[in-house]
Amino acid sequence: MSAPSTDRRARGAGAARGADALDRSGAAQPGAGLAVERVRWSVDGTLIVDGVDCTAPPGAVTGLLGPNGSGKSSLLRLVAGVTRPDDGTVRLGGTDLVSMARRPRARVVAFVEQDSSTDLPLTALDAVLLGRIPHRSLLAGDGADDLRLAQDALARVGMAAFAGRDLGSLSGGERQRVHMARALVQEPRLLLLDEPTNHLDIAAQLATMDLVRTLAADGVTVLAALHDLNLAAGACDHVVMLSGGRVVAAGPVEQVLVPDVVEAVYGVRCEVLRHPRTGRPVLVLG
């Protein structure tokens, strides 16, 4: 997983290929990318997502931040179409995702859950191949193309050597990367990641964020729930800060990850420094 950018695959037209998303963060065309408006969702009368408005520009990585229970996973599930919002709209490049049929939506949106496991005996390669289901007839088996894509995806997440391993025998971090590969073979235009760096060591965390940035540079819109504010500061173009099911701040990293917001949301004091090499913000807590 050391050099994911050497493995870049060509994508459809409209992809702002080659340009670094960091420099384009303000240049997103309105209407493209993900637009969430007034989305509300409640369970048994308890409002969990409370009128969320936010956008994730195309070809950029948007971080979804917020304390435990702030509604990050719930919002991602709503955007993925797993649950239906009580109110509000979710659009991708102008297409309404909520009313879209499931199968076409599954060819456009991929979602890596916070936790997913199975008791079934399944190889890593087979697990990745599941991501091809929306792209082929439900009666068809894995084609040669599917196999090639799955092997490519495993290579991209640095798991090529594990293709034949039983999923149950992999470490948590290895499994996490297999799930990421499963999302990649779905060839999504919108990639939703719920704590993708969960279980990963620091090198793998950075490699995953690198991979995500490469995908974004290829034109994919990425919305990733993250806990590590510094990881978000280093790798995201935009961040959306949730608290109690509402958006409390959203925008470029430099505007959202400031001491006032962090203290208001987490109740933790912090200083913002500059990374000596990249110039990106670095948060020092306490």
Partner 1 sequence: MTTTRAPALWLAGALLAAVASVVLAVTIGPTDLGAADVWRTVVDHAGLSGALGTEPLARLQDATIWQLRMPRVLTAAAVGAGLAVCGVVMQSLTRNPLADPYLLGLSSGASLGAVLVLVVGITALLPVAAFVGAVAALVGALALAGSMGAITPTRTVLAGLAISQLAAAATSFVIFWSATGDSYRSILSWLMGSVAGATWTSVAIAGGAVLVLGTLLASTGSILDAFTFGDTAAATLGIPVQRTRWTLLIGVALLTGALVSVSGSIGFVGLVLPHAVRMATGARHRLLLPLSALLGASFLVWADTAARTVFAPRELPVGIVTAAIGAPVFALLLWRGRRAPRGLG
Ligand X SMILES: Nc1ncnc2c1ncn2[C@@H]1O[C@H](COP(=O)(O)OP(=O)(O)OP(=O)(O)O)[C@@H](O)[C@H]1O
Residues lying near ligand X in the complex (CB under 6 A) are found at: 43, 48, 66, 68-74, 114
67-98: b (≥16 Cβ within 10 Å) or e: beebbbbbbbbbbbbeeebeebebbbbeeebe
68 binds partner 1 (CB under 8 A): no
131 binds partner 1 (CB under 8 A): yes
52 binds partner 1 (CB under 8 A): no
Cα 60 to chain centroid distance, Å, stands at 11
Question: Which sign does the torsion angle of CA 54, 41, 209, 9 carry?
Answer: negative
- Which of ligand X, partner 1, Mg ion, none is residue 169 near (CB under 5 to 8 Å by kind)? partner 1
Q: By C-beta, is 68 or 137 nearer to Mg ion?
A: 68
Q: By C-beta, is 70 or 221 nearer to ligand X?
A: 70
Residue 246 CB, nearest approach to ligand X (Å) = 12
H or E element that contains 156:
helix 144-156
Residue 125: which of 104, 149, 97 has the closest Cα? 149
Q: By C-beta, is 187 or 194 nearer to ligand X?
A: 194
Q: Give me the half-sphere count of Cα atoms (radius 13 Å) on the Cβ side of residue 142.
A: 16
| Alpha-carbon gap, residue 266 to 63, rounded angstroms | 16
Residue 8 CB contacts under 8 Å (≥ 6 apart), including other chains = 214, 217, 218
Residue 189 CB, nearest approach to partner 1 (Å) = 14
Residue 74 CB, nearest approach to ligand X (Å) = 3
- Which of partner 1, Mg ion, ligand X, none is residue 102 near (CB under 5 to 8 Å by kind)? partner 1
Binder of partner 1 out of 22, 51, 88, 123 (CB under 8 A): 123
Q: Where are the beta strands (DSSP E) in 57-135?
A: 61-65, 87-92, 95-96, 109-112
Residue 194 CB, nearest approach to Mg ion (Å) = 6
Q: Which residues bind partner 1 (CB under 8 A)?
A: 77, 80-82, 102-107, 109-111, 113, 116-123, 125-127, 129-131, 133-134, 136, 138-141, 164, 166, 168-169, 179, 186
